[in-house]
Structure 1
Amino acid sequence: MRILAINDISCVGKCSLTVALPIISAAGYTCDILPTAILSTHTGGFTGYTFRDLSEDIPSVLNHWKSLGLEYDIIISGYLGSVEQVEMVKEIKGAFLKRGGTMIVDPVLGDNGKLYAHFDENFVNEMKGLCRVADVIVPNLTEACFLTDTPYRPDAEFQSVLEKLNGLCPHASITGCEEGASSTVYYTDETGALRRYSTEKVQGQFHGAGDVYAGAFVGALANGLSLEDAVRVSADFTKQAIEQTAKDKTEARYGLNFESKLFGYLKALGKR
Protein backbone atom coordinates (compact mmCIF):
# COMPACT_ATOMS: atom_id res chain seq x y z
CA MET A 1 0.00 0.00 0.00
CA ARG A 2 1.20 3.47 -0.92
CA ILE A 3 -0.04 6.68 0.70
CA LEU A 4 0.39 10.30 -0.41
CA ALA A 5 0.38 13.14 2.11
CA ILE A 6 -0.14 16.62 0.65
CA ASN A 7 0.74 19.24 3.25
CA ASP A 8 3.22 21.94 4.19
CA ILE A 9 6.63 21.52 5.76
CA SER A 10 6.94 23.59 8.92
CA CYS A 11 10.61 23.21 9.73
CA VAL A 12 10.10 23.86 13.47
CA GLY A 13 6.97 23.06 15.44
CA LYS A 14 5.73 19.50 14.94
CA CYS A 15 2.78 19.57 12.55
CA SER A 16 1.81 18.83 8.95
CA LEU A 17 4.31 16.62 7.09
CA THR A 18 6.78 16.35 9.97
CA VAL A 19 3.97 14.62 11.88
CA ALA A 20 2.20 12.73 9.09
CA LEU A 21 5.34 11.11 7.67
CA PRO A 22 6.63 9.44 10.88
CA ILE A 23 3.18 8.32 12.08
CA ILE A 24 2.04 6.82 8.76
CA SER A 25 5.45 5.22 8.23
CA ALA A 26 5.37 3.72 11.72
CA ALA A 27 1.94 2.29 10.91
CA GLY A 28 3.71 0.21 8.28
CA TYR A 29 3.17 1.96 4.96
CA THR A 30 5.12 3.94 2.40
CA CYS A 31 4.22 7.61 2.75
CA ASP A 32 5.19 9.82 -0.17
CA ILE A 33 4.90 13.57 0.34
CA LEU A 34 3.94 16.59 -1.72
CA PRO A 35 4.95 19.81 0.07
CA THR A 36 2.56 22.71 -0.56
CA ALA A 37 4.67 25.34 1.20
CA ILE A 38 7.78 25.62 3.34
CA LEU A 39 7.67 27.64 6.55
CA SER A 40 10.43 28.27 9.07
CA THR A 41 7.84 27.52 11.78
CA HIS A 42 4.11 26.98 11.74
CA THR A 43 1.93 30.08 12.09
CA GLY A 44 0.45 29.37 15.53
CA GLY A 45 2.27 31.08 18.37
CA PHE A 46 5.23 32.23 16.28
CA THR A 47 5.92 35.61 14.68
CA GLY A 48 8.44 36.55 12.01
CA TYR A 49 8.19 33.16 10.30
CA THR A 50 9.17 32.69 6.65
CA PHE A 51 6.67 31.36 4.11
CA ARG A 52 7.31 30.06 0.61
CA ASP A 53 4.39 28.98 -1.58
CA LEU A 54 5.36 25.96 -3.72
CA SER A 55 2.46 26.20 -6.19
CA GLU A 56 4.82 26.82 -9.12
CA ASP A 57 6.83 23.68 -8.33
CA ILE A 58 3.95 21.24 -8.01
CA PRO A 59 3.09 20.74 -11.74
CA SER A 60 6.65 19.64 -12.54
CA VAL A 61 6.62 17.22 -9.61
CA LEU A 62 3.34 15.72 -10.81
CA ASN A 63 4.59 15.37 -14.39
CA HIS A 64 7.59 13.42 -13.15
CA TRP A 65 5.34 11.18 -11.03
CA LYS A 66 3.12 10.48 -14.04
CA SER A 67 6.19 9.29 -15.93
CA LEU A 68 6.81 6.83 -13.08
CA GLY A 69 3.26 5.51 -13.18
CA LEU A 70 2.67 6.23 -9.48
CA GLU A 71 -0.71 5.43 -7.93
CA TYR A 72 -1.95 5.74 -4.36
CA ASP A 73 -4.31 3.72 -2.18
CA ILE A 74 -4.91 6.69 0.11
CA ILE A 75 -4.36 10.39 -0.46
CA ILE A 76 -4.66 12.89 2.39
CA SER A 77 -4.48 16.63 1.87
CA GLY A 78 -3.88 19.17 4.61
CA TYR A 79 -2.54 22.73 4.61
CA LEU A 80 -2.62 24.28 1.15
CA GLY A 81 -0.34 27.19 0.39
CA SER A 82 -2.62 28.97 -2.10
CA VAL A 83 -6.18 28.88 -3.38
CA GLU A 84 -4.84 27.53 -6.71
CA GLN A 85 -3.69 24.40 -4.90
CA VAL A 86 -7.28 23.40 -4.20
CA GLU A 87 -7.79 22.64 -7.90
CA MET A 88 -4.40 20.94 -7.99
CA VAL A 89 -5.48 18.54 -5.26
CA LYS A 90 -8.66 17.70 -7.17
CA GLU A 91 -6.54 16.94 -10.23
CA ILE A 92 -4.18 14.83 -8.13
CA LYS A 93 -7.11 12.74 -6.96
CA GLY A 94 -8.17 12.09 -10.55
CA ALA A 95 -4.67 11.32 -11.80
CA PHE A 96 -3.11 9.38 -8.93
CA LEU A 97 -5.77 7.81 -6.67
CA LYS A 98 -6.30 4.12 -7.43
CA ARG A 99 -9.75 2.93 -8.36
CA GLY A 100 -11.42 2.15 -5.05
CA GLY A 101 -8.87 4.27 -3.17
CA THR A 102 -9.69 6.69 -0.37
CA MET A 103 -9.44 10.47 -0.54
CA ILE A 104 -9.16 12.13 2.87
CA VAL A 105 -9.24 15.90 3.30
CA ASP A 106 -8.07 17.64 6.43
CA PRO A 107 -9.55 21.06 5.55
CA VAL A 108 -6.97 23.18 7.33
CA LEU A 109 -8.46 26.64 7.77
CA GLY A 110 -8.11 27.81 11.36
CA ASP A 111 -8.63 27.21 15.06
CA ASN A 112 -10.28 28.81 18.08
CA GLY A 113 -12.89 30.43 15.86
CA LYS A 114 -10.43 32.25 13.60
CA LEU A 115 -8.91 31.62 10.19
CA TYR A 116 -5.16 31.09 9.95
CA ALA A 117 -2.95 33.70 8.31
CA HIS A 118 -3.17 33.74 4.47
CA PHE A 119 -6.77 32.41 4.45
CA ASP A 120 -10.02 34.28 3.70
CA GLU A 121 -13.66 33.59 2.84
CA ASN A 122 -12.79 32.82 -0.78
CA PHE A 123 -10.40 30.13 0.42
CA VAL A 124 -13.16 28.71 2.65
CA ASN A 125 -15.51 28.47 -0.32
CA GLU A 126 -12.88 26.69 -2.41
CA MET A 127 -12.23 24.28 0.47
CA LYS A 128 -15.92 23.40 0.51
CA GLY A 129 -15.53 22.25 -3.09
CA LEU A 130 -12.56 20.07 -2.16
CA CYS A 131 -14.53 18.49 0.67
CA ARG A 132 -17.26 17.54 -1.81
CA VAL A 133 -14.87 15.27 -3.73
CA ALA A 134 -13.46 13.61 -0.57
CA ASP A 135 -14.45 10.26 0.89
CA VAL A 136 -13.66 11.39 4.45
CA ILE A 137 -13.00 14.82 5.97
CA VAL A 138 -11.43 15.50 9.38
CA PRO A 139 -11.94 19.17 10.34
CA ASN A 140 -11.64 20.63 13.81
CA LEU A 141 -14.64 22.47 15.24
CA THR A 142 -13.57 25.86 13.88
CA GLU A 143 -13.14 24.47 10.38
CA ALA A 144 -16.43 22.58 10.57
CA CYS A 145 -18.21 25.83 11.49
CA PHE A 146 -16.63 27.76 8.61
CA LEU A 147 -17.46 24.97 6.16
CA THR A 148 -21.12 24.90 7.22
CA ASP A 149 -21.58 28.67 7.64
CA THR A 150 -22.28 28.11 11.32
CA PRO A 151 -21.37 30.84 13.84
CA TYR A 152 -18.50 29.50 15.92
CA ARG A 153 -19.08 28.75 19.58
CA PRO A 154 -16.94 26.43 21.72
CA ASP A 155 -20.20 24.90 22.98
CA ALA A 156 -21.83 24.62 19.56
CA GLU A 157 -24.52 22.04 18.84
CA PHE A 158 -21.93 19.55 17.64
CA GLN A 159 -24.39 17.03 16.21
CA SER A 160 -26.13 19.75 14.22
CA VAL A 161 -22.79 20.92 12.78
CA LEU A 162 -21.95 17.32 11.83
CA GLU A 163 -25.30 16.89 10.10
CA LYS A 164 -24.63 20.02 8.04
CA LEU A 165 -21.10 18.82 7.29
CA ASN A 166 -22.48 15.59 5.85
CA GLY A 167 -23.98 17.74 3.10
CA LEU A 168 -20.41 18.22 1.88
CA CYS A 169 -19.00 14.75 2.57
CA PRO A 170 -20.77 11.56 3.67
CA HIS A 171 -18.13 10.66 6.24
CA ALA A 172 -16.77 13.35 8.54
CA SER A 173 -15.21 13.56 11.97
CA ILE A 174 -15.09 16.80 13.96
CA THR A 175 -12.30 17.05 16.53
CA GLY A 176 -11.93 19.52 19.36
CA CYS A 177 -15.51 19.34 20.64
CA GLU A 178 -15.18 20.09 24.35
CA GLU A 179 -17.91 18.79 26.67
CA GLY A 180 -17.19 19.46 30.31
CA ALA A 181 -14.21 17.33 31.31
CA SER A 182 -14.18 15.51 27.96
CA SER A 183 -12.78 16.12 24.51
CA THR A 184 -15.09 14.51 21.97
CA VAL A 185 -14.93 13.53 18.33
CA TYR A 186 -18.28 13.63 16.55
CA TYR A 187 -18.25 11.49 13.42
CA THR A 188 -20.30 9.61 10.84
CA ASP A 189 -19.68 5.87 10.54
CA GLU A 190 -19.91 3.60 7.47
CA THR A 191 -23.68 3.26 7.83
CA GLY A 192 -24.22 7.02 7.98
CA ALA A 193 -25.03 6.94 11.69
CA LEU A 194 -23.89 9.89 13.82
CA ARG A 195 -21.58 8.82 16.62
CA ARG A 196 -19.31 10.32 19.26
CA TYR A 197 -16.17 9.21 21.05
CA SER A 198 -14.82 10.98 24.13
CA THR A 199 -11.51 11.07 25.94
CA GLU A 200 -10.51 12.92 29.09
CA LYS A 201 -9.70 16.55 28.33
CA VAL A 202 -6.20 17.78 29.18
CA GLN A 203 -6.15 21.43 30.19
CA GLY A 204 -4.18 23.78 27.95
CA GLN A 205 -3.67 24.72 24.30
CA PHE A 206 -1.63 22.23 22.26
CA HIS A 207 -0.51 22.93 18.70
CA GLY A 208 -0.45 20.14 16.13
CA ALA A 209 -3.03 17.89 17.81
CA GLY A 210 -5.18 17.81 14.68
CA ASP A 211 -2.22 16.71 12.57
CA VAL A 212 -1.39 13.90 15.01
CA TYR A 213 -5.02 12.77 14.87
CA ALA A 214 -5.14 12.91 11.06
CA GLY A 215 -1.89 10.97 10.63
CA ALA A 216 -3.00 8.32 13.09
CA PHE A 217 -6.40 8.13 11.39
CA VAL A 218 -4.80 7.44 8.00
CA GLY A 219 -2.57 4.76 9.52
CA ALA A 220 -5.58 3.13 11.16
CA LEU A 221 -7.65 3.05 7.96
CA ALA A 222 -4.65 1.69 6.03
CA ASN A 223 -4.50 -1.16 8.54
CA GLY A 224 -8.11 -2.08 7.80
CA LEU A 225 -9.79 -0.59 10.84
CA SER A 226 -13.39 0.58 10.56
CA LEU A 227 -14.16 4.28 10.78
CA GLU A 228 -15.37 3.72 14.34
CA ASP A 229 -12.17 1.98 15.41
CA ALA A 230 -9.99 4.45 13.49
CA VAL A 231 -11.58 7.36 15.37
CA ARG A 232 -11.13 5.59 18.71
CA VAL A 233 -7.48 4.65 18.15
CA SER A 234 -6.56 8.08 16.75
CA ALA A 235 -8.31 9.99 19.53
CA ASP A 236 -6.67 7.83 22.20
CA PHE A 237 -3.23 8.28 20.64
CA THR A 238 -3.67 12.05 20.38
CA LYS A 239 -4.82 12.29 23.99
CA GLN A 240 -1.82 10.26 25.17
CA ALA A 241 0.52 12.53 23.18
CA ILE A 242 -1.09 15.60 24.75
CA GLU A 243 -0.71 14.08 28.22
CA GLN A 244 2.97 13.38 27.56
CA THR A 245 3.53 16.93 26.33
CA ALA A 246 1.86 18.36 29.44
CA LYS A 247 3.92 16.04 31.65
CA ASP A 248 7.15 17.08 29.92
CA LYS A 249 6.15 20.76 30.26
CA THR A 250 7.29 21.33 26.69
CA GLU A 251 6.43 24.74 25.26
CA ALA A 252 3.11 24.05 23.56
CA ARG A 253 3.86 25.85 20.29
CA TYR A 254 6.58 23.31 19.49
CA GLY A 255 4.00 20.56 19.07
CA LEU A 256 3.08 17.27 20.69
CA ASN A 257 5.59 14.77 22.06
CA PHE A 258 3.92 11.90 20.25
CA GLU A 259 7.04 9.84 19.57
CA SER A 260 7.11 7.94 22.87
CA LYS A 261 3.45 6.96 22.39
CA LEU A 262 3.91 5.35 18.99
CA PHE A 263 4.39 1.86 20.46
CA GLY A 264 0.99 2.02 22.15
CA TYR A 265 -0.56 3.26 18.92
CA LEU A 266 0.92 0.34 16.99
CA LYS A 267 -0.38 -2.12 19.59
CA ALA A 268 -3.84 -0.60 19.16
CA LEU A 269 -3.53 -1.22 15.42
CA GLY A 270 -2.93 -4.88 16.18
CA LYS A 271 0.78 -4.76 15.37
CA ARG A 272 3.24 -6.56 17.65
Structure 2
Amino acid sequence: MMTRSKTPLTIPKQADRVLSIQSHVVHGYVGNKAATFPLQTLNWDVDVLNSVNFSNHTGYGSWKGHSCTGEEIEQLFEGLEGIHTHYEAILTGYIHGSSALMCVGQKCISIKSSYPETLWLLDPVMGDEGQLYVSEDAIPIYRDILCCRLVDIITPNQFELELLLDVKITSLESLKVAVNLVHKEYNVKYLVISSLTLTAEDLGLGSAKKGKMYSCISSAESGKIVFFEIDKYDSYFTGVGDLFSALLLDRLYKTRDVIISTNQVLTIMSKVLYVTRELCLKDLGKEVKAKMGDSRSMKECELRIVECMDMYSEDDCDYTPFELS
Protein backbone atom coordinates (compact mmCIF):
# COMPACT_ATOMS: atom_id res chain seq x y z
CA MET A 1 0.00 0.00 0.00
CA MET A 2 1.35 3.41 -0.94
CA THR A 3 1.62 6.10 1.70
CA ARG A 4 1.68 9.79 0.88
CA SER A 5 4.76 11.82 1.74
CA LYS A 6 4.39 13.96 4.85
CA THR A 7 5.61 16.95 2.85
CA PRO A 8 2.64 19.34 2.40
CA LEU A 9 1.17 18.79 -1.06
CA THR A 10 -0.05 21.74 -3.11
CA ILE A 11 -2.98 20.75 -5.30
CA PRO A 12 -2.36 22.11 -8.81
CA LYS A 13 -4.93 24.12 -10.75
CA GLN A 14 -7.36 21.90 -12.60
CA ALA A 15 -6.61 21.73 -16.31
CA ASP A 16 -8.92 23.39 -18.82
CA ARG A 17 -10.31 21.09 -21.49
CA VAL A 18 -9.94 21.53 -25.24
CA LEU A 19 -11.15 19.44 -28.15
CA SER A 20 -8.52 19.53 -30.90
CA ILE A 21 -9.64 18.31 -34.34
CA GLN A 22 -6.70 18.13 -36.74
CA SER A 23 -4.50 15.73 -38.67
CA HIS A 24 -2.22 13.15 -37.05
CA VAL A 25 1.13 11.80 -38.21
CA VAL A 26 3.12 8.97 -36.69
CA HIS A 27 6.43 10.65 -37.51
CA GLY A 28 6.98 14.39 -37.32
CA TYR A 29 5.06 17.39 -36.05
CA VAL A 30 2.02 18.75 -37.83
CA GLY A 31 -1.62 19.01 -36.81
CA ASN A 32 -2.40 17.41 -33.48
CA LYS A 33 1.20 16.23 -33.08
CA ALA A 34 2.33 19.88 -33.15
CA ALA A 35 -0.50 21.15 -30.92
CA THR A 36 -1.17 18.54 -28.24
CA PHE A 37 2.09 18.43 -26.27
CA PRO A 38 2.53 22.24 -26.13
CA LEU A 39 -1.07 22.61 -24.91
CA GLN A 40 -0.52 19.93 -22.27
CA THR A 41 2.54 21.79 -20.95
CA LEU A 42 0.24 24.83 -20.59
CA ASN A 43 -2.22 22.89 -18.38
CA TRP A 44 -4.74 21.92 -21.04
CA ASP A 45 -6.42 18.53 -20.96
CA VAL A 46 -6.51 17.79 -24.69
CA ASP A 47 -9.10 15.51 -26.27
CA VAL A 48 -7.54 14.62 -29.62
CA LEU A 49 -9.73 13.84 -32.61
CA ASN A 50 -7.60 12.97 -35.63
CA SER A 51 -9.02 13.90 -39.04
CA VAL A 52 -6.34 11.82 -40.79
CA ASN A 53 -3.90 9.18 -39.58
CA PHE A 54 -0.77 9.27 -41.76
CA SER A 55 2.72 7.86 -41.41
CA ASN A 56 4.15 11.34 -42.06
CA HIS A 57 3.00 14.62 -43.56
CA THR A 58 2.47 14.87 -47.29
CA GLY A 59 5.41 17.23 -47.85
CA TYR A 60 7.70 14.21 -47.81
CA GLY A 61 6.33 13.24 -51.20
CA SER A 62 5.17 9.79 -50.06
CA TRP A 63 3.07 8.64 -47.13
CA LYS A 64 0.72 5.91 -46.01
CA GLY A 65 -2.43 6.07 -43.95
CA HIS A 66 -6.10 6.83 -43.79
CA SER A 67 -8.38 9.88 -43.87
CA CYS A 68 -11.50 9.87 -41.73
CA THR A 69 -14.86 10.10 -43.47
CA GLY A 70 -17.74 12.18 -42.19
CA GLU A 71 -19.44 8.99 -41.00
CA GLU A 72 -16.41 7.95 -38.95
CA ILE A 73 -16.13 11.38 -37.33
CA GLU A 74 -19.88 11.27 -36.62
CA GLN A 75 -19.37 8.01 -34.72
CA LEU A 76 -16.57 9.51 -32.63
CA PHE A 77 -18.74 12.47 -31.70
CA GLU A 78 -21.59 10.15 -30.77
CA GLY A 79 -19.23 8.41 -28.37
CA LEU A 80 -18.16 11.74 -26.83
CA GLU A 81 -21.79 12.86 -26.50
CA GLY A 82 -22.61 9.55 -24.83
CA ILE A 83 -20.20 10.29 -21.99
CA HIS A 84 -21.27 13.96 -21.71
CA THR A 85 -17.99 15.69 -22.52
CA HIS A 86 -17.67 19.44 -22.03
CA TYR A 87 -14.95 21.78 -23.30
CA GLU A 88 -13.66 25.23 -22.46
CA ALA A 89 -12.24 25.52 -25.98
CA ILE A 90 -12.33 23.95 -29.45
CA LEU A 91 -9.41 23.99 -31.90
CA THR A 92 -10.06 22.96 -35.50
CA GLY A 93 -7.30 22.66 -38.09
CA TYR A 94 -6.71 20.51 -41.17
CA ILE A 95 -9.71 18.36 -42.08
CA HIS A 96 -9.57 16.21 -45.19
CA GLY A 97 -12.65 15.74 -47.36
CA SER A 98 -15.91 17.65 -47.65
CA SER A 99 -18.03 15.14 -45.70
CA ALA A 100 -15.58 15.17 -42.78
CA LEU A 101 -15.42 18.98 -42.78
CA MET A 102 -19.20 19.28 -42.93
CA CYS A 103 -19.58 16.90 -39.99
CA VAL A 104 -16.96 18.73 -37.89
CA GLY A 105 -18.64 22.05 -38.66
CA GLN A 106 -22.08 20.80 -37.62
CA LYS A 107 -20.78 19.26 -34.39
CA CYS A 108 -18.75 22.29 -33.36
CA ILE A 109 -21.69 24.58 -34.10
CA SER A 110 -23.82 22.36 -31.86
CA ILE A 111 -21.25 22.60 -29.05
CA LYS A 112 -21.05 26.40 -29.32
CA SER A 113 -24.84 26.72 -29.44
CA SER A 114 -25.14 24.71 -26.22
CA TYR A 115 -22.12 26.29 -24.50
CA PRO A 116 -21.62 29.84 -25.86
CA GLU A 117 -18.72 30.44 -23.46
CA THR A 118 -16.63 27.78 -25.22
CA LEU A 119 -13.84 29.48 -27.18
CA TRP A 120 -13.63 28.27 -30.80
CA LEU A 121 -10.50 28.85 -32.84
CA LEU A 122 -10.87 27.80 -36.47
CA ASP A 123 -7.76 27.53 -38.60
CA PRO A 124 -9.11 27.17 -42.18
CA VAL A 125 -6.23 25.08 -43.51
CA MET A 126 -6.79 25.15 -47.26
CA GLY A 127 -3.52 26.17 -48.87
CA ASP A 128 -0.76 28.75 -49.18
CA GLU A 129 0.99 30.84 -51.81
CA GLY A 130 -1.73 30.17 -54.38
CA GLN A 131 -1.72 26.39 -53.95
CA LEU A 132 -4.73 24.49 -52.59
CA TYR A 133 -4.14 21.64 -50.10
CA VAL A 134 -7.79 20.59 -50.20
CA SER A 135 -10.45 20.09 -52.86
CA GLU A 136 -12.33 23.19 -54.00
CA ASP A 137 -15.60 21.94 -52.52
CA ALA A 138 -14.14 22.62 -49.05
CA ILE A 139 -14.25 26.38 -49.64
CA PRO A 140 -18.07 26.83 -49.57
CA ILE A 141 -18.26 24.51 -46.54
CA TYR A 142 -15.88 26.75 -44.61
CA ARG A 143 -18.01 29.74 -45.62
CA ASP A 144 -21.14 27.95 -44.37
CA ILE A 145 -19.43 27.21 -41.05
CA LEU A 146 -18.49 30.87 -40.63
CA CYS A 147 -22.04 31.90 -41.53
CA CYS A 148 -23.18 30.38 -38.23
CA ARG A 149 -21.56 33.49 -36.64
CA LEU A 150 -20.29 31.41 -33.71
CA VAL A 151 -16.56 31.15 -34.48
CA ASP A 152 -14.50 33.33 -32.12
CA ILE A 153 -11.08 33.32 -33.81
CA ILE A 154 -9.84 32.51 -37.29
CA THR A 155 -6.16 32.26 -38.26
CA PRO A 156 -5.93 32.14 -42.08
CA ASN A 157 -2.97 33.15 -44.16
CA GLN A 158 -3.69 35.74 -46.87
CA PHE A 159 -4.44 33.14 -49.55
CA GLU A 160 -6.93 31.35 -47.28
CA LEU A 161 -8.64 34.63 -46.36
CA GLU A 162 -9.04 35.45 -50.06
CA LEU A 163 -10.64 32.03 -50.62
CA LEU A 164 -13.03 32.48 -47.70
CA LEU A 165 -14.20 35.91 -48.85
CA ASP A 166 -13.84 35.41 -52.60
CA VAL A 167 -11.86 38.64 -52.84
CA LYS A 168 -8.36 39.51 -53.99
CA ILE A 169 -6.20 41.39 -51.49
CA THR A 170 -3.70 43.54 -53.36
CA SER A 171 -3.29 46.63 -51.18
CA LEU A 172 -3.81 48.08 -47.71
CA GLU A 173 -7.26 49.30 -48.71
CA SER A 174 -8.45 45.92 -50.01
CA LEU A 175 -7.01 44.30 -46.87
CA LYS A 176 -9.09 46.64 -44.69
CA VAL A 177 -12.21 45.77 -46.67
CA ALA A 178 -11.53 42.06 -46.16
CA VAL A 179 -10.94 42.46 -42.42
CA ASN A 180 -14.19 44.38 -41.97
CA LEU A 181 -16.09 41.70 -43.91
CA VAL A 182 -14.83 39.01 -41.53
CA HIS A 183 -16.10 40.89 -38.49
CA LYS A 184 -19.41 42.12 -39.94
CA GLU A 185 -20.51 39.17 -42.07
CA TYR A 186 -19.26 36.35 -39.86
CA ASN A 187 -19.25 37.97 -36.40
CA VAL A 188 -15.68 36.74 -35.79
CA LYS A 189 -14.24 38.44 -32.69
CA TYR A 190 -10.57 38.02 -33.55
CA LEU A 191 -8.87 37.77 -36.92
CA VAL A 192 -5.18 36.87 -37.02
CA ILE A 193 -3.72 36.69 -40.52
CA SER A 194 -0.65 34.62 -39.78
CA SER A 195 1.23 35.70 -42.90
CA LEU A 196 0.61 38.29 -45.59
CA THR A 197 1.95 38.08 -49.12
CA LEU A 198 1.55 41.85 -49.28
CA THR A 199 4.98 43.49 -49.21
CA ALA A 200 6.12 46.59 -47.35
CA GLU A 201 5.62 48.49 -50.61
CA ASP A 202 2.05 47.15 -50.97
CA LEU A 203 1.30 48.34 -47.43
CA GLY A 204 2.72 51.80 -48.06
CA LEU A 205 5.78 51.26 -45.87
CA GLY A 206 8.34 52.05 -48.53
CA SER A 207 10.52 49.64 -50.47
CA ALA A 208 10.19 45.91 -49.78
CA LYS A 209 12.45 44.63 -47.01
CA LYS A 210 14.48 41.51 -47.71
CA GLY A 211 13.81 38.65 -45.30
CA LYS A 212 10.75 40.31 -43.76
CA MET A 213 7.02 39.63 -43.93
CA TYR A 214 3.94 40.84 -42.08
CA SER A 215 1.26 39.48 -39.79
CA CYS A 216 -2.07 41.27 -39.39
CA ILE A 217 -4.33 41.26 -36.32
CA SER A 218 -7.81 42.70 -35.85
CA SER A 219 -10.34 42.74 -33.03
CA ALA A 220 -14.03 43.43 -33.70
CA GLU A 221 -14.33 45.13 -30.31
CA SER A 222 -11.56 47.69 -30.81
CA GLY A 223 -11.91 48.06 -34.57
CA LYS A 224 -8.12 48.33 -34.83
CA ILE A 225 -5.99 46.65 -37.47
CA VAL A 226 -2.48 46.05 -36.15
CA PHE A 227 0.60 44.74 -37.93
CA PHE A 228 3.80 42.99 -36.91
CA GLU A 229 6.93 42.83 -39.02
CA ILE A 230 8.43 39.35 -38.67
CA ASP A 231 11.33 37.38 -40.10
CA LYS A 232 10.80 35.27 -43.19
CA TYR A 233 12.83 32.06 -43.14
CA ASP A 234 14.37 30.79 -46.35
CA SER A 235 13.18 27.24 -45.77
CA TYR A 236 9.96 25.28 -45.63
CA PHE A 237 8.86 24.35 -42.10
CA THR A 238 5.69 22.31 -41.59
CA GLY A 239 3.50 22.47 -38.51
CA VAL A 240 4.30 26.13 -37.88
CA GLY A 241 0.67 27.26 -38.33
CA ASP A 242 -0.61 24.39 -36.18
CA LEU A 243 1.68 25.26 -33.28
CA PHE A 244 0.92 28.96 -33.74
CA SER A 245 -2.86 28.38 -33.52
CA ALA A 246 -2.55 26.13 -30.45
CA LEU A 247 -0.45 28.68 -28.55
CA LEU A 248 -2.73 31.54 -29.64
CA LEU A 249 -5.77 29.65 -28.35
CA ASP A 250 -4.07 29.29 -24.97
CA ARG A 251 -3.08 32.96 -24.74
CA LEU A 252 -6.40 34.37 -25.92
CA TYR A 253 -8.34 32.13 -23.55
CA LYS A 254 -6.28 33.49 -20.66
CA THR A 255 -5.88 37.15 -21.63
CA ARG A 256 -8.56 38.04 -24.26
CA ASP A 257 -6.01 40.54 -25.58
CA VAL A 258 -5.32 39.59 -29.19
CA ILE A 259 -2.40 41.99 -29.70
CA ILE A 260 -0.42 40.88 -26.64
CA SER A 261 -1.34 37.25 -27.27
CA THR A 262 -0.14 37.36 -30.87
CA ASN A 263 3.06 39.16 -29.88
CA GLN A 264 3.85 36.49 -27.30
CA VAL A 265 3.13 33.66 -29.72
CA LEU A 266 5.14 35.20 -32.56
CA THR A 267 8.06 35.55 -30.13
CA ILE A 268 7.82 31.90 -29.12
CA MET A 269 7.53 30.78 -32.75
CA SER A 270 10.69 32.71 -33.64
CA LYS A 271 12.56 30.90 -30.87
CA VAL A 272 11.20 27.49 -31.91
CA LEU A 273 12.32 28.03 -35.50
CA TYR A 274 15.73 29.22 -34.32
CA VAL A 275 16.19 26.14 -32.13
CA THR A 276 15.01 23.88 -34.95
CA ARG A 277 17.58 25.35 -37.35
CA GLU A 278 20.41 25.31 -34.82
CA LEU A 279 19.85 21.70 -33.77
CA CYS A 280 19.62 20.66 -37.40
CA LEU A 281 22.92 22.46 -38.03
CA LYS A 282 24.48 20.75 -35.01
CA ASP A 283 23.29 17.30 -36.13
CA LEU A 284 24.40 17.58 -39.75
CA GLY A 285 27.18 20.14 -39.61
CA LYS A 286 25.43 22.21 -42.24
CA GLU A 287 22.22 24.17 -42.75
CA VAL A 288 19.42 22.29 -44.48
CA LYS A 289 16.62 24.00 -46.37
CA ALA A 290 13.53 21.82 -46.56
CA LYS A 291 11.94 21.40 -49.97
CA MET A 292 8.55 19.94 -50.83
CA GLY A 293 8.87 16.34 -51.94
CA ASP A 294 12.42 15.95 -50.58
CA SER A 295 12.03 13.45 -47.74
CA ARG A 296 15.59 13.88 -46.43
CA SER A 297 15.37 17.64 -45.96
CA MET A 298 11.79 17.43 -44.67
CA LYS A 299 12.83 14.94 -42.01
CA GLU A 300 15.74 17.06 -40.81
CA CYS A 301 13.59 20.22 -40.59
CA GLU A 302 10.77 18.83 -38.43
CA LEU A 303 9.98 21.28 -35.62
CA ARG A 304 11.76 20.50 -32.35
CA ILE A 305 8.53 20.45 -30.37
CA VAL A 306 9.86 18.48 -27.39
CA GLU A 307 13.16 20.34 -27.07
CA CYS A 308 11.30 23.68 -26.92
CA MET A 309 8.91 22.66 -24.15
CA ASP A 310 10.13 25.31 -21.68
CA MET A 311 9.40 28.11 -24.16
CA TYR A 312 5.65 27.63 -24.46
CA SER A 313 4.83 29.38 -21.18
CA GLU A 314 7.07 32.39 -21.82
CA ASP A 315 5.42 35.81 -22.07
CA ASP A 316 8.12 37.82 -23.83
CA CYS A 317 6.97 40.29 -26.50
CA ASP A 318 9.82 40.91 -28.94
CA TYR A 319 7.78 42.60 -31.67
CA THR A 320 6.46 46.13 -32.00
CA PRO A 321 2.83 46.43 -33.13
CA PHE A 322 1.99 49.27 -35.48
CA GLU A 323 -1.09 50.65 -37.22
CA LEU A 324 -1.42 51.99 -40.75
CA SER A 325 -3.79 54.79 -41.72
1:173 matched to which residue of 2?
Answer: 192
From 304, 317, 323, the equivalent of 1:257 is 304
TM-score (norm 2): 0.73
The CA distance in 1 between the partners of 2:279 and 2:173, in whole Å, is: 32
Alignment of 1:223-242 (within 5 A): 223-242=254-273
Question: Deviations along 1:191-221, whole A, 9 cap, x unmatched?
Answer: 2321112333332222111111111111212
Tell me how far 1:244 sits from its aligned partner: 1.8
* More deviation, 89-98/74-83: 89-98
Larger radius of gyration: 2
How many pairs were matched up? 267
Per the alignment, residue 224 of structure 2 pairs with 193
The alpha-carbon distance between structure 1 residues 205 and 258, as it changes in their structure 2 partners (threshold 3 A), is same
Q: Which runs of 5+ in 2 are unaligned?
A: 1-15, 200-208, 281-287, 291-297, 317-325
Structure 2 matches for 1:131-170, cutoff 5 A?
Answer: 131-133=146-148, 134-151=151-168, 158-166=175-183, 167-168=185-186, 169-170=188-189
CA RMSD of aligned residues (A): 2.6
Distance of aligned partners of 1:64 and 1:50 in 2 relative to their CA distance in 1, 3 Å threshold: closer
CA contact (8 A) 2:169 2:178 kept: no
Q: Which runs of 5+ in 1 are unaligned?
A: none
Name the residue aligned to 2:103: 88
**What is the one-letter code of the residue matched to 1:203?**
D
**TM-score, normalized by length of structure 1?**
0.86
Question: Alpha-carbon deviation of 1:139?
Answer: 0.9
The one of 92, 106, 120 aligned to 1:103 = 120
Q: More strand per residue: 1 or 2?
A: 1
Query: Deviation at 1:57?
Result: 2.1
Residues 239 and 27 of structure 1: is their aligned pair in 2 closer, same or farther, counting only changes over 3 Å?
same
Name the % identity: 18
Are the counterparts in 1 of residues 123 and 154 from structure 2 also a CA contact under 8 Å? yes
C-alpha deviation, 1:108, in angstroms: 0.7
Distance in 1 separating the partners of 2:231 and 2:173: 19
Q: Judging changes above 3 Å, is the alpha-carbon distance between structure 1 residues 49 and 67 closer, same or farther for their aligned structure 2 residues?
A: closer
TM-aligned CA distance change 1:260 to 1:157, over 3 Å: farther
1:124-182 deviation digits (Å, cap 9, x = unpaired) = 11112223331110112221122122347799965454344444434211112254333
Does 2:279 align with 1:248?
A: yes
